[in-house]
Amino acid sequence: MGLVALRDVPAPSAADALAVLARRGVRVKVLTGDHPGTAARVCADLGLRPEGHSGPDDVVTAESVDTLSDAELVEVADRAVVFARCTPEHKARIVSALRAGGRTTGFLGDGVNDLPALDAADVGICPRNAVDVAREAADVVLAEKDLTAIDRAVLAGRRSSGNIAAYLRITLSSNLGNVIAMLTAGLMLPFLPMLPAQVLVQNLCFDAAQLAFAFDRPPASVLRRPTALRPRDFLRFITGFGLLNA
């Protein structure tokens, strides 16, 4: 007789990468087909567990998910960290529940059983050594098999989002000011305040200056936490500065 013990050890950088993502405001959850005890142990080693908990009793199993309504699953999916014994359908349903609760979701998977969840998430992510169908279904393919690549992608996305928001604010407020000024001048003056060619030259010079936004560094608060682009905030900014610009 003999006894063989096998252990799949997480990558040395995994715990640090997950800690960095947590500081960025990214909530990491684990959806696995493994046994609840195995999932709880690995996640505890990585620091992924609810506050004050670390045992298999804190893991939500697929059987529990089956007993929940869609509304109940939204609450459980937002609160829980580890889901075990998940089938592809369970993974997709949990991801959909997170989205229904207002969360922006990214799902990382590399196998055929991850396809439904990759499709259900806002952003499907897979490593470059994933199966072909997973790479085709994913929105992002990681060039490195390292979770730190996700942190860099999050930073790049937030930097781009911050620059886009700044560009939209200044461009739309400036255009609104120009429209108000031209309409007012056209109604009050007996001549055209600007010729069409002059308007085009003005816009060309203005847009050329906006190219600097591609290399701008947004505030640290934008990189630290995810920010939503709220239309109401844009409208207030554009209206206020558009009137001042006019």
Instruction: Please report the DSSP string for the chain in residue order.
Output: --------PPPTTHHHHHHHHHHTTPPP-EE-SS-HHHHHHHHHHTT-S-TT--SGGGSEEHHHHHTS-HHHHHHHHHH--EEES--HHHHHHHHHHHHHTT---EEE--SGGGHHHHHHSSEEEEETTS-HHHHHH-SEEESSSSTHHHHHHHHHHHHHHHHHHHHHHHHHHHHHHHHHHHHHHHHHSSS-SS-HHHHHHHHHHHHHHGGGGGG----HHHHHS-----HHHHHHHHHHHHHHH-
User: Would 6 be classed as within a structural domain?
Assistant: no
pLDDT given at position 81: 92
138 lies in the same domain as 167 = no
Is there a single domain that holds both residue 102 and residue 26?
Answer: yes
**Statement to judge: residues 46 and 82 lie in one domain:** yes
What pLDDT, on a 0 to 100 scale, did the predictor assign at position 239? 82
Tell whether 211 is covered by a domain. Answer: yes
What's 114-151 look like in SS3? HHHHHHHCCEEEEECCCCHHHHHHCCEEECCCCCHHHH
Give, for all 246 residues of the chain, the pLDDT tens digit: 787 777 777 878 888 999 999 988 899 999 999 989 888 888 888 888 654 454 555 799 999 999 999 999 999 999 999 999 999 999 999 999 999 999 999 999 999 999 999 999 999 999 998 999 999 999 999 988 788 899 999 998 888 888 888 888 888 888 888 888 888 887 888 887 778 888 888 888 888 888 887 787 887 877 887 777 778 877 888 888 777 776
Same domain, 138 and 19: yes
Picking from 151, 186, 220, the residue at the C-terminal end of a domain is: 151
pLDDT at 75 (0 to 100) = 94
CATH number at residue 30: 3.40.50.1000
Last residue of a domain, one of 120, 151, 182: 151
Q: In the chain, how many domains are there?
A: 2
- Contact present, 38 and 91 (Cβ < 8 Å): no
Query: Quick one: pLDDT at residue 199?
Result: 82
Are residues 25 and 116 located together in one domain of the fold? yes
Q: Are residues 136 and 237 in the same domain?
A: no
Residue 174 amino acid letter:
S
145 and 25 co-located in one domain? yes
Q: Classify residue 139: in a domain, yes or no.
A: yes
Quick one: pLDDT at residue 53? 52
Same domain, 102 and 21: yes
* Residue 135 shares a structural domain with residue 196: no
Range of the domain at 111: 14-151
Q: Evaluate whether residue 210 is within a structural domain.
A: yes
- Are residues 35 and 120 both part of a single domain? yes
Structure tokens at 101: 């609760």
Question: Last residue of a domain, which of 117, 151, 185?
Answer: 151
pTM of the model: 0.79
